[in-house]
Amino acid sequence: MSSMTSSRLTRRGFTLAALAACGAAAACNNGIGSTGAATIDARVAATLDLMFRDYPNTRQLADASRGMLVMPLVTEASLWVGGGYGRGALLIDNITVDYYSQAKASAGFQIGAKQYAHVLFFMTDDALANFRRSAGWVAGADIGYVVSDRAAQAAATTHTVNQPILAAVFGQAGLFAGASLEGAKYTRIIP
């Protein structure tokens, strides 16, 4: 009987901890809830300013890209089962044309939380068109990373420059190390 009681407490503890992790993610000012277009636009501008200041080589990528998806703040939290969420804007010729949310789910042994910003550079017209046509575009392993918080500056090699989509992930804070966009789903929203 004691192992049965212990099992119930473990399940109850797990359920409560998972609910607490979801609540923590929602309370991290990451755009869940009432975030209007003006707030997203201000966060996007601040994120680009930070990226261009800290990683000056990204300005060349921005100038060469057909469009940029700027996600100022993505929050991820997990306790065995995890998720992440953020909101941002798609810019073409430095003008906001659409707003997007990013959602991500994961499972496995993981405990913690993190926040980060990222920018997707669409380097070809086809990559941008495919992204915009999609009802829910999912990031794959084919994204080339040109900035990570582990690198001192943007690194664009011949291999990454030829990729249709490049990513800059920066401004990371939290208990997890590293950030990957693989499996993240981007959906057009109306803020």
Instruction: Name the residue with higher pLDDT: 160 or 147.
Output: 147
Tokens encoding 123: 């380097």
Backbone torsion region of residue 20, taken as left when φ is above 0, otherwise alpha when ψ lies between -120 and 50, otherwise beta: alpha
Read off the pLDDT of residues 130-145 as tens digits, 9 standing for 90 and up.
Answer: 999 988 888 887 788 8
Q: How far apart are CA 17 and CA 109, in angstroms?
A: 14
Q: How far apart are CA 79 and CA 15, in angstroms?
A: 10
Residues 6+ apart with CB under 8 A from 120: 68, 69, 71, 139, 143, 165, 166, 167, 181
Categorize the per-residue pLDDT at 181 as very low, low, confident or very high, splitting at 50, 70 and 90. Answer: confident
Model-level pTM? 0.75
pLDDT at residue 67, rounded to an integer: 98
Domain ranges of the chain: 2-189
Q: Is residue 28's pLDDT more than 70?
A: no
Phi and psi at residue 30, to the nearest 5°:
-100, 10
Instruction: Name the residue with higher pLDDT: 42 or 172.
Output: 42
Q: How far apart are CA 103 and CA 17, in angstroms?
A: 20
Instruction: Name the residue with higher pLDDT: 97 or 105.
Output: 97
